[in-house]
Structure formats: structure tokens, C-alpha cells
Amino acid sequence: MKIDRLILGVYETNCYVLRSNEATKDCLIVDAGLGAGKLIKFLEKHKLNPAAVVLTHGHIDHIAGVSALRGHFPDIKVYIHKLDAEMLSEPQTNLSAMTGGSFSTEPADFSVEEQICIEQAGVKLSVLHTPGHTPGGICLYSKDEAIVFTDDTLFADSIGRTDFPCGSMEQLLKSIMEKLFTLPDEIKVYPGHGPITTIAHEKAHNPFFQ
């Protein structure tokens, strides 16, 4: 799998552009945050065709680029967990109201839940429901590629915040222990913010689990 990481917006959200191989032009996007113009320029420069965008949760710094993507690529499909689906149209819960804005966009094309396999652009990702940061937070796992996209659930040497509406530290820690730390140690972790890490490193060094 070819993975390109773009860092978008003032919150430095990781946006991932996934292709089954470097030669193909079809791609799947994981998260589309603030400053999506950078993402669209990247797609146009490389003549890529985004078949879908998967939103790992419903906060503004991960969903703000959806409207721009739909404007430039009208056939793109949008995925989000069913418990975060309403956040696409609710400025209070998607936190855009806290930033002085009022972001709202059209509903997702598909709502997902635990163990559903998302297959777009030759890329297959299994959904792991990992609530805590938000009720519908998800991680995206590829056993064949030995990678997992961990949303704002697990970061390098840290974890996601739980002080936003509907956050739960208890749920978040449980999600990490039961859904992520049960994956093989060699799995590469691609988080929603910050650098890439591994399951082994986080089990051994993440201060929230020592």
C-alpha cells in the first residue's frame, strides 16, 4: 500500500491518502481536516481520483474538508461511524462552535460500525469501534499491511483527549486495551496527530499504561 501523509490546518491533523500501489490513481482518504486546500492541491497535482473519505470521528479538525472534497470530486463517498454521524451537521458537538465558526455539511453516504470492512479504491480496512474521544470514534486496521490508523484514540506516547462533550477516559482506555493493544506488536500505528509509532512501543512506553 502507498501511504501519503498530509498535515492539515492549525491543529496539525494527519490526513492519509491511501492507494493499493504507487501506480494507481484511485485512492481512499482517511480524514479531511481544516486547510483542505492543501489536500485538494495534492490530489490534483498527482492526478488522483478519491473514491472515498473515511472520517475517524466527527470533530471539526477531522471533517472540515468534506465539503471542499465533495465540491471538487462529486462522486466521492463519505463514511463515518453511526454514533458520530449527526456531528456532521451539529456545530456544538463537532466543536466548530468553540472555534468561532459554525460548520455543517451534508450527511455521510455510509455509516459504519464494528468489524465492517470498508473497501474502496482497492484498499481494504476493517473498522474497530474505539469510543472514548467521541462515542463513534473508529480505528482502521489492515492485517495484511500490518497497519492501523488510530484516530484520536492513540498517539505516540499519548492518548486522545476526553474532556470534550461525550468524552470518556474510562471508555478510551478500555478501547485501547481491548482493541489496539491486542493487535500484534509489529503493527505500525498511524495516529490522527503526531508521528507514526508501533503497538509494541506504545505498550512498553506510553505513560498512560505504565
Low-confidence ranges of the chain (pLDDT < 50): none
- Classify residue 77 by its DSSP letter: E
Rounded alpha-carbon distances, angstroms, from residue 3 to 35, 143, 164, 173: 19, 15, 30, 28
pLDDT of residue 98: 82
Q: How many domains does the chain have?
A: 1
Host domain of residue 190? 2-209
Cell of 82: 453511526
Mean pLDDT for the chain overall: 96
pLDDT of residue 100: 75
CATH number at residue 127: 3.60.15.10
Measured from the Cβ of residue 143, the count of other Cβ atoms closer than 10 Å reads: 12
- Classify residue 52 by its DSSP letter: E
Q: pTM for the full model?
A: 0.96
CB 201, CB 186: distance < 8 Å: no
pLDDT of residue 101: 79
CB 192, CB 200: distance < 8 Å: no
* Alpha helical stretches, state H, the chain: 37-45, 60-63, 66-72, 169-175, 199-205
